[in-house]
Structure 1
Amino acid sequence: MRNGSIHRKTKETAIRVAVALDGTGSYQVATGIGFLDHMIEQLSRHSLIDITLEVQGDLHVDQHHTVEDSAIAIGEAVSQALGDRRGITRYGHAYAPMDETLTRAAIDISGRPFLVWKSGFSQPRLGEMDTELFEHWFHSFASAAGITLHVETLYGQNNHHIAESAFKALARALRQAVEIDPRKADAIPSTKGTLGGG
């Protein structure tokens, strides 16, 4: 199995994360932010990437460092698990409907981190989580994982549905992109011969 694990400790957070790309979507997530836990659990379940994540953050200050650093650690663990990216499909895309909401995500595991975010919220919080931090989570994840990521909510009204459909679309696109292509399992999917990482 393609596994990655990161131990990350700063003055703001202490994080342990382990991922298995060829998993079953099992998870153990504890960030101290209930809604963020729920979203990362969705990411695991729908990508079939096993994720174990424990975060101790400075939530007495605010949620920013916990949200940012959890995304960085998961992204770094995914990048580590991908190694030299040999044999992967590389590209993935998905639409995730959730009742009145529809979000799409497209991924290129390119080694060139970039986020295009076209989504938004009409309220400042979901549960105890600041909604402005969702874009920051996706940006931090894309940067640490070395992926180009486009996320767009095409329409939707319920803020919970908008957030959840974004994570589910990411999950399904990621599942597709990290899969081993049986026709090119021994090749790095780039004419340059490298996709960074590893």
Structure 2
Amino acid sequence: MNAAPRRAEIARRTAETDIQATLTLDGTGQATISTGVGFFDHMLHALTRHGLLDLALTAKGDLHIDFHHTVEDCGIVIGQALKAALGEKRGIARFGHCLMPMDEALAECAIDISGRPFLAWSVAFPRDKVGEMDTELFEEFFRGLVINAGLTCHITLKAGTNAHHIAEACFKGFARALRMAVETDPRAAGAIPSTKGVLEG
């Protein structure tokens, strides 16, 4: 018997954004992304492809003000979808780690699907924008995702001088670490990977 697909659909509508997302954990890297923020779409495509997720996401936000609400709320929605798709987290590897090079940039990402939300972000950008996107919003995206998914996540920049490369290393590193952490472990026999018997804090 095949296991049920690890998939979730989330919709979030506020006075600032209207977002719909469908996430499949055991995907092939297929992405249909439209947020209205070009560089952010590029990063979400990278996350999807290298995490081997399938993600369909559309976002309409108050971009005439700035990109903050759209980027942060996309993180919230993707995090909620990830948490829902994981369910009880039975049989997962739980931990993931990646050291991701992108030309001169090098980013490290470590993830624990712990149920205890925490983001340690040690990434500095050499300029304020990549394209039209404020580089400070990358931290807001990951914080929204991590808190709503219930992850412990450390993202650390080890080297880098090009803002585009730094962002890409962070997203690809997160994707590969997440892919490792959500994989099912055949030796786990469907058990919850915790001595407490739960992964909810």
TM-score range, shorter chain: over 0.9
Q: What is the percentage of aligned positions where both structures have the same residue?
A: 56
- Alpha-carbon offset, residue 136 of structure 1: 1.0
Tell me what 2:148 maps to: 144
Separation (CA, whole Å) in 2 of partners of 1:138 and 1:182? 29
Tell me what 1:91 maps to: 95
Point out where structure 2 has 5 or more consecutive residues left out of the alignment. none
Tell me what 2:181 maps to: 177
Equivalences for 1:30-69 in 2 at 5 Å? 30-69=34-73
Q: State the SS of the aligned residue for 1:11.
A: coil
Separation (CA, whole Å) in 2 of partners of 1:185 and 1:7? 33
Equivalences for 1:95-110 in 2 at 5 Å? 95-110=99-114
- Equivalent in 69, 72, 80 of residue 84 of structure 2: 80
1:72-113 deviation digits (Å, cap 9, x = unpaired): 000000100000001100000001101111101000000000
Q: State the SS of the aligned residue for 2:186.
A: coil
Name segments (4+ residues, structure 1) moved above 6 Å: none
Equivalences for 1:114-125 in 2 at 5 Å? 114-125=118-129
Amino acid at match of 2:180: Q
- Alpha-carbon offset, residue 164 of structure 1: 0.3
- Alpha-carbon offset, residue 185 of structure 1: 3.3
Separation (CA, whole Å) in 2 of partners of 1:150 and 1:12? 29
Tell me what 1:11 maps to: 15
1:110-168 deviation digits (Å, cap 9, x = unpaired): 00000011111111110110111111111111001100000001011111000000000
Q: State the SS of the aligned residue for 2:166.
A: helix
TM-score (norm 2): 0.96
Q: How many residues align?
A: 197
Amino acid at match of 2:136: E
Amino acid at match of 2:104: E
Separation (CA, whole Å) in 2 of partners of 1:12 and 1:136? 16
Point out where structure 1 has 5 or more consecutive residues left out of the alignment. none
1:21-55 deviation digits (Å, cap 9, x = unpaired): 00001000000000000001000000001110000
Separation (CA, whole Å) in 1 of partners of 2:72 and 2:105? 25
Is contact 1:108-1:148 (8 Å) kept?
Answer: yes
Is contact 1:23-1:48 (8 Å) kept?
Answer: yes
Amino acid at match of 2:65: V
Amino acid at match of 1:37: D
Is contact 1:84-1:196 (8 Å) kept?
Answer: no
